[in-house]
Amino acid sequence: MTPTGVVFDVSRGCVEDGPGVRTVVFLKGCPNHCGWCHNPEGRSPRPEIALDRRRCLECGACEEACPNEWVADDPESWRRVCTGCGACAEACPSGARRLVGRRVEVDALVAEVMADADFFAGTGGGVTFSGGEPLAQGPFLFACASALRAKGVHVAVETSGTWAASVRKDLRDSVDLVLFDLKHVDPARLRAEVGVGAPRALSNLRALLEADLSVQIRLTVVPGFNDGDEDLAAIADWLADCPGTTTLHLQPFHRMAVAKQVLYDRPYAWADVEPTHTSRLIEAQRWFG
Ligand code: SF4
Ligand code: SF4
């Protein structure tokens, strides 16, 4: 049976997610729980409702359309019974409710992104799978990647590295470039701030580099997590000990996700943390030559 996937966005004309002009496919689902997550809509593996309460007219059409029972006097009860069917979003007259995430088949997604084939060919671009953690939907991603590469399209995957070692072979066989979001090299910090399975990222990254796969490492410099001198020195030492050559790109933590988190009623632990200052990014670069 052909695998299907859950996609929450397809973004065209991107230039920072691999070579050339790219179409980025965002897949839902992530095993990590980074407090500073920039894409909260990628956390849940299922389609879900984004609710913008500022636009709500309190007309009740959503509750009427919902096949499930909401608890009277509990305005949050719908989240607990929600199956992501989207009926409330269709009924909502103000656009306060929006269904985020759609289930799609491999052939349909490939046809959708191949509409940009001329841009890929003209710029040396291609398709990048991001998320969430796109490898949480490995069978779907690899089926899409193989179909795209058969058409001559360059395929990249942006990943946190939180996946089983068995995924490495499929990555080597099915993608051209891995954009690896390294978060830290201290297993205890990774476990505490990213997720219990996050230390796996270290052995996975090392194995990808040993396998001579094309890997670009990205490090989001997050204040209070990995921006201290000791953190950066430890990360630089760890990378210096890795085989092969790779590129490292530092990027700043920003707070653009604050506005998005409210739509999913999730607390945002980093809401009061100042964005990474450019001067700190420049200083941080010193550790990496
Ligand atoms: S249908 Fe939309 S506008 Fe009406 S109560 Fe529900 S969220 Fe608010
Ligand atoms: S998406 Fe479907 S199940 Fe969820 S609240 Fe809306 S109508 Fe109810």
Q: How far is Cα 65 from Cα 68, in angstroms, rounded to an integer? A: 9
* pLDDT of 31: 96
Q: How far is Cα 76 from Cα 65, in angstroms, rounded to an integer? A: 16
**The CATH number of the domain where 60 resides is what?**
3.30.70.20
Q: Ligand 1, closest atom to CA 61?
A: 1
Q: 81, 100, 119: which is the final residue of a domain?
A: 100
86 CB less than 6 Å from ligand 2? yes
Q: Ligand 1, closest atom to CA 55?
A: 3
Residue with CA closest to ligand 1 atom 5: 58
Regarding whether 277 and 183 lie in a shared domain, the answer is yes
CA dihedral for 77, 78, 81, 82, sign (positive or negative)? negative
19 CB less than 6 Å from ligand 2? no
Tens of pLDDT along 1-16? 788 999 999 999 999 9
Q: 63: domain range?
A: 48-100
Say if residues 55 and 94 touch (Cβ distance below 8 Å).
Answer: yes
* pLDDT of 268: 83
Distance, CA 78 to ligand 1 centroid (Å)?
12
Specify the number of domains making up the chain: 2
Q: 84, 100, 116: which is the final residue of a domain?
A: 100
Regarding whether 152 and 230 lie in a shared domain, the answer is yes
Regarding whether 62 and 155 lie in a shared domain, the answer is no
Q: Is the pLDDT of residue 71 over 80?
A: yes
Tens of pLDDT along 142-191? 999 999 999 999 999 999 999 999 999 999 999 999 999 999 999 999 99
Regarding whether 238 and 151 lie in a shared domain, the answer is yes
Regarding whether 267 and 164 lie in a shared domain, the answer is yes
* pLDDT of 49: 97
Token pair of 186 as six digits: 């201290």
Tens of pLDDT along 75-88? 789 999 999 999 99
Regarding whether 258 and 133 lie in a shared domain, the answer is yes
Q: Hey, how many other C-beta atoms are within 10 angstroms of the C-beta on 112? A: 14
Regarding whether 90 and 124 lie in a shared domain, the answer is no
Residue with CA closest to ligand 2 atom 3: 82
pLDDT band at 269 (very low <50, low <70, confident <90, very high): confident
* pLDDT of 148: 98
Q: Is the pLDDT of residue 136 over 80?
A: yes
Regarding whether 41 and 53 lie in a shared domain, the answer is no
Q: Compute the average pLDDT of residues 237-257.
A: 88
Which range has the worst mean pLDDT, 102-116, 124-138, 172-186, 258-272? 258-272
Q: Is the pLDDT of residue 70 over 90?
A: yes
Distance, CA 91 to ligand 1 centroid (Å)?
8
Regarding whether 231 and 112 lie in a shared domain, the answer is yes
Regarding whether 183 and 124 lie in a shared domain, the answer is yes
Distance, CA 57 to ligand 1 centroid (Å)?
6
Regarding whether 217 and 121 lie in a shared domain, the answer is yes
49 CB less than 6 Å from ligand 2? yes
**The CATH number of the domain where 163 resides is what?**
3.20.20.70
Distance, CA 263 to ligand 1 centroid (Å)?
14
The end-to-end CA distance of the chain, in Å, is 49
User: Ligand 1 site: residues with CB under 6 angstroms?
Assistant: 56-62, 91-94, 96-97
* pLDDT of 246: 74
Q: 61, 79, 100: which is the final residue of a domain?
A: 100
Residue with CA closest to ligand 2 atom 4: 82
* pLDDT of 76: 84
68 CB less than 6 Å from ligand 2? yes
Regarding whether 130 and 40 lie in a shared domain, the answer is yes
Find, among 267, 265, 270, 268, the residue nearest to 48 by Cα: 265
* pLDDT of 198: 96
Mean pLDDT taken over the chain? 94
